[in-house]
Structure 1
Amino acid sequence: MESTRALSGDEGGGPPGGEVVDVLARLVGLLLASSGEGAHRIERSTRAVAAAFGCRASLVMVPEGAVMTVSKGSGRAVTVTVRAVPEVFRLDRVVALKPWLASVEGGELSVAQAGAGLRRIEEQPAPYPWWVKLIGIVLFSLGFAPLMQPTWYEIGSTAVLAALAAVLAVTADFVPRLAVLLPLLASTLVSVVTLEVFATDAAHGGPVLLMLPALFFFVPGDYLSAAAAELAAGLMTTGAIRLVYAVFLLVQLYVGVLLGVALTGSSTRRLFDVVAVADLPRWALFCGWVVFTAGTVLAFAVPLRLLPVLLGLVYLTVGVQSLVTKAAGEMAGTFVAAVVLAAAANVLGRRPALPPRLVLILPGFFTLTVGSLGMRGLTTLAGGHVIAGFTDLLKLVTVVTAIAVGLTTGAALTARRADLRAA
């Protein structure tokens, strides 16, 4: 997180204390870095902390930065520019930030104590070693695989492909330059191995359906829905920029698949979209969500103690989506599931012992499988299957909108009056 500072305003009094401004700037940096759900809640938290220290704060935001103005009484205002790259890979910091915010807003911490606590959160090591994160990414992909094709072959191929992608993802933690091209490199590697080793028989399903579970960790479904939620909340700049960034990540994955086609000397016609005959028993499909949720916890550095409540929200989301889809269609099922998930996360998030809304929503949100539709549509188009490709892309737009509006509706229905006044 980087920040710059400048003074402005009248001479009616002294500016806010440097310690207060430093705490607020670092807080904004942490909130920006964990804004995978959207940036629309950052200003509310920042204003509350500033008020606890007798100051006023206002923000002008873009997804990767913010200009914060802090004032105290009628004195000069301090303007700080904060930059932080948004991601959702260290949710342990999001969990630790919740009790810190509660203590500051409750007047339990001095500025010095608040700064020291924030520094501990920033510097705390990841809760799991690199090899546990690698296992988490593989489990995350394996749990998602039956959604693409409920076959044992899909699970077996995903185990190998996800392990390759996970090695790249973990390596990028140690080689930051690799992170810039990570989606492109991962999709190229997965594409080459899939086309050369696993997509040799049409009876096993389309190549893209074999690739997608291993690439799901890199698919920007969270950014797409966060962008839609920000646009719905009236944050045009942050929503539009995040939407462009999500599309850019999606295109990287798409180009990587095409590079794999070129490197193997294959034809794009191999990118057909045919689902194999299901051979997984129902118990395997049911248990898949346990594997998926455990993988989410390990891959995104969520404390292990939260696994039961996250698993409950996953099954709630899946159950609601399945029941409503049977009764009223897929879009209605997705919308209602998003409403229920957001409402449940809002209510549970008020309990001091439970994590904030973002952490509670994330696993259930992933079950709604947004970004994979865009990837599937682009690759299907590249394979020359125009109608099917555009059908998937149109479905992506409607599903993203349904999820974003559903999450916003669920949050609004369960919001407290104080939160509505502060919005």
Structure 2
Amino acid sequence: MTDIPLPATPAAHTEAADTEAVGFVLRLGRALHTYGLSADALEHALQGMSERLGLQAQFFTTPTSIFAAFGPHERQRTHLIRVHPGDVDLGKLARIDAVSRAVEQGRVGAAEGSAHIDAIIAAPPEPRGLVRVLAYGVASAVVCRILGGGLNEVGVAGASGLVTGLIWLASRRWPHGSHVFELVAALAVSALVTLFAAWSDLRLSIPTATLGGIIALLPGLTVTVAMTELARRHLAAGTARLTGALLVFVTIAFGVAVGSEVAESLVGTVRSFSPRRLPEWTLTVALAIAPLAFGVLLRARWRDFPWLWLSSTIGYTAVRVSALAFGPALAAALGALVVGVLANLYDRRGLGPAAVALVPGVLLLVPGSIGYRSLTSLLDENVIVGVTAGFTMILTAVAIAVGLLVSSVIVPTRR
């Protein structure tokens, strides 16, 4: 008796479903990578999503690429995605996370989820243009006050921050403009601050005002993420990210040095003064405004602003209170621990990805200004101060990474 072959429809359906699931996971990985997720968090997210969709998969990510292998070891299909990291976009990250949750829970199919992700990526970034430029100016002014600047320094830093924002806006229209954005902005801000100090009658601390004007450029967050990746034994991504951050620091320091020399070649040597201390209440105002300015720069959704403001305020307060009893490194670790716990609770309650509350909270803790001062001291041939500041930057970044790691043990994220 001849065997009747089984119909091929179920197998074909399974293969098509697997293809849709793989497509969704790859789109999800590219989007999460582009909008700011760290390598270890990205791998865990993709692994969890693959298991929910019934896929056998392995992932390896670096700051510029994603390797994804699907299927049993002897029959794996490997995909390589070349990624160019973009600006952190907390709004799109939150919307992509919502799609991810819907697919995980079975409310949306893989093919429909892929379409949603494509639409999110294609949507224009928010906020646009001049609103973001204004946020650069506000962030520079308030951070300058947090760093000890006086009224003159705060005003000049705010104006310099607007210049940085305008250069950012112009760099979006230049071919490969993003590659020279930090260099051009640092050079312009340094030259403008020096010229203003020479031509005005204001007593101005040139280093403080310059640092305020370029504060949004400093890759302190990148250094902290790199240390977190290294602590989690993701050595390739952590090393590459740390090297990239060091290159940005050197580029900014070089731009500041050249801008200062160009300005002094025009007006001669310019004297710098110590900043005049402002009343303590101005620091409270600066701390209240800073998270809102960073929220705009990070493109957070308006409905998430109360959460990121709460995370930033509580985290910085924890650091200030801890510093009264402990050293700066332990204070930074405790501040990061508080921010990490709040961010993970935000994630577990289904309000959005932990990064929405984590990144703004950590921004006020990261050691970017210390790294900048380290390199400028080295350029001024003040080796001992430069090396000490550099070591302090690394120690602070490690302390923040430890705090975040402990917070993930106390309150694990949803995935």
TM-score (norm 2): 0.90
1:47 correspondence with 2:44 = no
Tell me: CA distance 1:283–1:406, structure 2 relative to 1, closer, same or farther (3 Å).
Answer: same
Instruction: Quote the sequence identity (%).
Output: 21
Counterpart among 388, 392, 397 of residue 395 in structure 1: 392
- Give the residue type in structure 2 aligned to 1:80: H
Q: Per-residue deviation at 1:31? A: 1.6
Paired amino acid for 2:375: L
1:250 aligns with 2:252: no
Amino acid in the other structure paired with 1:330: P
> How far apart, CA to CA, are the structure 1 residues paired with 2:179 and 2:23?
29
| Amino acid across the alignment from 1:335 | A
Aligned residue pairs, count? 401
Deviations 1:288-334, CA, capped at 9 Å, x for gaps: 12221111121221111211121111110111101110111212211
- CA distance in structure 2 between the partners assigned to 1:209 and 1:336 by the alignment: 27
* Conserved? CA contact 2:370–2:393, under 8 Å: yes
Residue 338 (structure 1) shift: 0.8
- Counterpart AA for 2:33: L
Find the aligned partners of 2:274 and 2:385 in 1 and give their Cα distance: 13
Letter in 2 for 1:307: F
**What residue in structure 1 maps to residue 118 of structure 2?**
119
Closer/same/farther in 2, CA of residues 185 and 67 from structure 1, 3 Å limit: same
Question: Match of 1:65?
Answer: 65
What is the SS of the residue equivalent to 1:412? helix
**Residues 195 and 215 of structure 1: CA distance in aligned 2, closer, same or farther (over 3 Å):** same
Mapping 1:138-157, distance limit 5 Å: 138-157=137-156
Alpha-carbon offset, residue 85 of structure 1: 2.1
Match of 1:341 among 322, 339, 342: 339
User: CA-atom RMSD, angstroms?
Assistant: 2.5
1:189-234 superposed Cα distances (whole Å, 9 cap, x missing partner) = 0111111113679994542221111111111111101110000000
Following superposition, the deviation at residue 277 of structure 1 comes to 2.9
Q: Would you say the 8 A contact 2:264–2:270 is kept in 1?
A: no
Distance 1:398 1:98 in 2: 32
Mark the runs of 5 or more structure 1 residues left unpaired by the alignment: 1-12
Matches within 5 A, 1:61-140: 61-71=61-71, 76-140=75-139
Q: Secondary structure at the match of 2:396?
A: helix
Residue pair 2:226, 2:242 contacting (<8 A) in 1 also:
yes
Aligned AA (1:161)? S
How is 1:9-408 mapped onto 2 (pairs within 5 angstroms)? 17-35=18-36, 38-71=38-71, 76-198=75-197, 204=203, 206-265=205-264, 275-278=274-277, 280-352=278-350, 354-408=351-405
Equivalent residue, structure 1, for 2:8: none
Please list every run of 5 or more consecutive structure 2 residues that lacks an aligned counterpart in the other structure.
1-13
Residue 272 (structure 1) shift: 9.6
1:363-420: CA deviation from partner (whole Å, max 9, x where unpaired): 211111411111111112222333322222121111111111111111222116x85x
Could you tell me the TM-score, scaled by structure 1's length? Answer: 0.88
Q: Distance in 1 between matches of 2:313 and 2:198?
A: 32
